[in-house]
């Protein structure tokens, strides 16, 4: 039985970095590959890991900020050019389905030309996927700051942003996606074997204070800025003496059951 792994493909925040891709995380369960988010640089990072595009089975997108979704068309193109035949499902927030269906032909990714069936599935909070593992979407407030401009100018955006809770039957993983404040994730961390947490949109002290009091196997802090910001986070963790929080890097692999 092949080991289950979380493989970090892109660990940069929404501020692009010269040496790292933006958000992209690969979940390898047995022989099956699932991609969580698909920001800029994720396709190249996927190839740098020596992986075969034909082996990607499904993609889940937490929210539609560019650093989480902008490279989805390129990923689809890569699958197409690799001669993929098997159907693939892309799970996106429901509000994005029509936009994506319009955008793909605009960049000449015509459904009829693809060598595989592309299934675009819009999800809402709750159970998203339940086959090889269970993935549940938990709504968060990350996009609420846009409410004013959306109302004032009549945009149709619904501000759908999610954390993912993943259960393999043996292990529990939590991926924060992007959040609005620590309150979005505080009650969802306890009991996870792996917590992949963004580090941009809340005060890290809130996590460092809670961490020793709840049961989490390993925290991986991701969605990171430049080297100086990573070093600063690293120093803060060191000072607390907490030994199960690490900062993410591209190519990092964490095994789980």
Q: How far is the CB of 224 from Zn ion (least distance, A)?
A: 11
Q: Which residues of 44-160 form beta strands (DSSP E)? A: 56-60, 88-93, 118-123, 126-130, 134-140
Under DSSP, the state recorded for 27 is E
Of 95 and 167, which CB lies nearer to Zn ion in the complex structure? 95
| CB nearer Zn ion, residue 75 or residue 79 | 75
Beta-carbon contacts of residue 125 (< 8 Å; ≥ 6 apart): 137, 138, 139, 162
**Active-site residue flag, 67:** yes
Q: Which range in 10-18, 110-118, 147-155, 239-247 contacts Zn ion by CB under 5 A?
A: 10-18
Min dist CB 242 to Zn ion, Å, is 24
Give the chain's radius of gyration (CA, Å): 18
One residue of 37, 71, 178, 250 binding Zn ion per CB under 5 A: 178
Specify the residue, 9 or 79, whose C-beta has the smaller distance to Zn ion.
Answer: 9
Task: Please identify which of the residues 37, 67, 178, 193 carries the catalytic annotation.
Answer: 67
Q: Is 179 left (phi over 0), alpha (psi -120 to 50) or beta?
A: beta
The distance of Cα 257 from the centroid of its chain, to the nearest Å, equals 20
For residue 184, state whether it binds Zn ion (rule: CB under 5 A). no
Contact between 65 and Zn ion by CB under 5 A: the answer reads yes
Establish if 67 lies at the interface with Zn ion (CB under 5 A).
yes
Contact flag: residue 28 with Zn ion (CB under 5 A): no
Cα–Cα distance measured from residue 229 to residue 224, given in angstroms and rounded to the nearest whole number = 7
Rounded to 10°, the helix 72-81/97-106 angle is 50
Give the three-class secondary structure for 131: coil
> Toward Zn ion, which CB reaches closer, 14 or 225?
14
Residues at the site binding Zn ion, with contacts judged by CB under 5 A: 14, 65, 67, 178
Catalytic (active-site) positions = 67
């Amino acid at each position: 039985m092949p080991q289950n792994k979380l493989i970090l493909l892109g660990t940069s925040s929404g501020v692009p970095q010269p040496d790292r891709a933006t958000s992209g995380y690969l979940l390898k369960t047995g022989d099956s590959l699932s991609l969580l988010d698909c920001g800029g640089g994720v396709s190249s990072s996927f190839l740098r890991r020596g992986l075969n595009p034909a082996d990607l089975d499904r993609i889940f997108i937490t929210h539609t900020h560019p650093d989480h979704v902008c490279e989805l068309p390129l990923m689809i193109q890569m699958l197409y050019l690799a001669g993929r035949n098997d159907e693939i499902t892309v799970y996106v927030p429901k509000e994005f389905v029509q936009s994506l269906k319009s955008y793909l032909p605009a960049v000449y990714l015509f459904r009829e030309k693809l060598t595989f069936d592309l299934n675009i599935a819009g999800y809402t909070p709750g159970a998203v996927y339940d086959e090889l593992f269970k993935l549940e979407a938990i709504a968060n407030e990350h996009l609420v700051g846009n409410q004013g401009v959306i109302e004032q100018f009549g945009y149709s955006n619904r501000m759908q942003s999610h954390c993912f809770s993943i259960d393999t039957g043996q292990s529990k993983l939590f991926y924060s996606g992007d959040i609005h404040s620590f309150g979005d994730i505080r009650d969802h961390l306890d009991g996870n074997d792996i917590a992949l947490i963004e580090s941009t949109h809340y005060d890290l002290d809130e996590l460092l204070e809670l961490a020793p009091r709840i049961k989490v196997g390993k925290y991986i802090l991701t969605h990171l800025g430049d080297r100086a910001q990573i070093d600063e986070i690293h120093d803060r963790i060191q000072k607390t003496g907490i030994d199960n929080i690490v900062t993410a890097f591209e190519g990092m692999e964490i095994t789980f059951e």
